[in-house]
């Protein structure tokens, strides 16, 4: 992605991009979003949704000794924030890798939670929403030209790439769909 567009996203969603300053042994975001500008809108929408999700809270049951009229035996726990560890094109579609940043005061929070309340899968639906959004962005990228953002599809010519017909013709100098049509007609004649 061009540095100008990526900088716009970093300014809009700084928490998602905080890995860009980490060593490459911890995060590959130092390389930036490794795809072309045609997927900017898809990626921007994904970042907006993930940022919205990170503000969610989960309701947990408190230990009996902590129940008051004010809390009714429950408290909210903020979902962990996430950040990207790598964003790239692979096999013609967008791939987004991420990590949960954890909850700074989890030991303190956990000490207040009723032992009968199962915290093992507390954030599983939250993580499922993140994965589903990323999968959908990948799906959309396979139907969108990575160069110009027009409708496209994944073409393979030794290398997979999502392109519109105009960009694939400009890149290769021929229309692969027409070539396939001609090959199929020749096979049919046999």
pLDDT band of residue 54 (cuts 50, 70, 90) is confident
> Which residue reads 């567009």 in tokens?
5
Rounded (5°) CA angle 131-38-101: 30
Summarize pLDDT for 15-36 with one digit per residue, the tens. Answer: 999 989 899 998 899 899 999 9
Q: What percent of the chain has pLDDT over 90?
A: 63
Residue-wise pLDDT tens digits, 63-78: 999 999 999 999 999 8
SS3 (DSSP) at 15: coil
Using the predicted structure, report yes or no on whether residue 180 has a pLDDT greater than 70: no
- In this prediction, residue 59 carries a pLDDT of 93
Higher per-residue confidence, 187 vs 166: 166
Q: What is the pLDDT of residue 181?
A: 61
pTM: 0.85
pLDDT in tens, 117-153: 988 888 889 999 999 999 999 999 999 999 999 999 9
Q: Is a pLDDT exceeding 90 seen at residue 190? A: no
Whether 187 has a pLDDT exceeding 60, the answer reads no
pLDDT at residue 177 tops 80: no
Long-range CB contacts (within 8 A, 24+) of 143-148 = 144/38, 144/39, 144/42, 145/38, 146/35, 146/36, 146/38, 146/39, 146/89, 146/92, 147/36, 147/37, 147/38, 148/38
Which of 81 and 55 is assigned the larger pLDDT?
A: 81
Residue 101: predicted pLDDT: 80
Do the beta carbons of residue 114 and residue 61 sit within 8 Å?
A: yes
């Amino acid at each position: 992605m061009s540095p100008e567009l990526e900088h716009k996203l970093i300014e809009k969603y700084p928490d998602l991009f905080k890995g860009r300053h980490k060593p490459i042994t911890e995060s590959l975001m130092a390389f930036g979003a490794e795809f072309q500008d045609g997927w900017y809108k898809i990626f921007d929408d994904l970042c907006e949704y993930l940022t919205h999700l990170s503000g969610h809270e989960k309701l947990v049951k408190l230990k009996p000794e902590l129940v008051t009229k004010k809390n009714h035996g429950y408290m909210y726990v903020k979902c962990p924030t996430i950040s990207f560890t790598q964003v790239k094109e692979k096999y013609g579609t967008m791939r987004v890798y991420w990590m949960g940043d954890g909850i700074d005061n989890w030991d303190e929070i956990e000490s207040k939670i009723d032992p009968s309340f199962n915290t093992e899968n507390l954030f599983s639906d939250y993580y499922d929403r993140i994965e589903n959004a990323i999968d959908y962005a990948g799906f959309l990228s396979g139907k969108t030209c990575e160069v110009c953002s027009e409708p496209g599809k994944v073409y393979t010519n030794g290398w997979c790439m999502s392109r519109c017909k105009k960009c694939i013709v400009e890149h290769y100098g021929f229309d692969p769909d027409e070539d396939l049509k001609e090959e199929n007609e020749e096979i049919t004649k046999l």
